[in-house]
Amino acid sequence: MATHYRRILDYLGLARGPGGLEQATRLEPRHDPVPPRVPGGSEIGEDAMSRRWALPGLAPAARAELADARTMEQRERYARNIENFIGTVKVPVGLAGPLRVNGVHAHGDFYVPLATSEAALVASYSRGAQLVTEAGGCAALVLNEGVSRAPGFAFDTLAQAATFVAWAAGCMEPFRAVAAQTTRHGQLVDMQLTVEGNHVYLGLEFQTGDASGQNMATIATEAICRYIVEHTPIAARAWYVEANMSGDKKATTHSFMSVRGKKLCAEVVLAPELIERRLHTTTNALVDYSRMSAFGGVMSGSIGVQGHYANGLAALFIACGQDAASVAEAAVGVTRFEPRPDGALYVAVTLPNLIVGTVGGGTALPSQQACLEILGLAGSGHALAFAEVAAALSLAGELSIVGALAAGQFTAAHQRLARGGSGPSAAS
Q: Which residues have a catalytic role annotated?
A: 118, 249, 323, 414
Strand pairing report for 138-149 and 187-196: unpaired
- Strand ranges, E, within 294-332: 304-305
Q: Could you give the 3-state DSSP secondary structure of residue 100?
A: strand
Which residues have CB under 8 Å from 29's CB, separation 6+? none
Instruction: Give the SS3 label for residue 184.
Output: coil
Spell out a b/e string for 319-351, using b for 16 or more CB atoms within 10 Å of the CB, else e.
bbbbbbebbbbbbbbbbebebeeeebbebbbbb
Largest CA distance in the chain: 74
Asked if 138 contacts 106 with a C-beta cutoff of 8 angstroms, the reply is no
**Sign of the four-CA dihedral 347, 351, 357, 363:** negative
The closest alpha carbon to 252, from 293, 202, 298, 303, belongs to 303
Cα torsion angle, 67, 89, 316, 262, sign:
negative
